[in-house]
Amino acid sequence: MILVHGAANSARVWAYWQDELARCGWSSHAIDLRGHGASAAAELGTTRMADYADDVVALARALRQPPILVGRDGRHAMASPAV
């Protein structure tokens, strides 16, 4: 499961839910999209939704199974077709 944060946020918003998912036996990966949280700095004025989708796709490809995407706003929707 890949957890995608919303605008002006970071993977930290998923901390509670990651604990709950783990208690239920689910593996989850909260991603910091480029320019957010612990990810590398990025010029957000020129960052496109496709760039965020690339971040999610890169993580998805590193996983052993196709992921379930969960998002806090429309950012997960931009990555869904790509994954």
Report domain extents, the chain: 2-79
Whole-number Å distance between alpha carbons of 28 and 15: 10
Q: Give Cβ neighbours of residue 35 (< 8 Å, ≥ 6 apart).
A: 41, 42, 43, 44, 47
User: Model confidence over 26-63: pLDDT tens digits?
Assistant: 999 999 999 999 999 999 899 998 899 899 999 999 99
- What does the block give as tokens for 43? 């010029």
Cβ-based neighbours of 2, under 8 Å, separated by 6 or more: 28, 29, 30, 31, 56, 59, 60, 63, 67, 68, 69, 70, 83
pLDDT surpassing 90 at residue 83: no
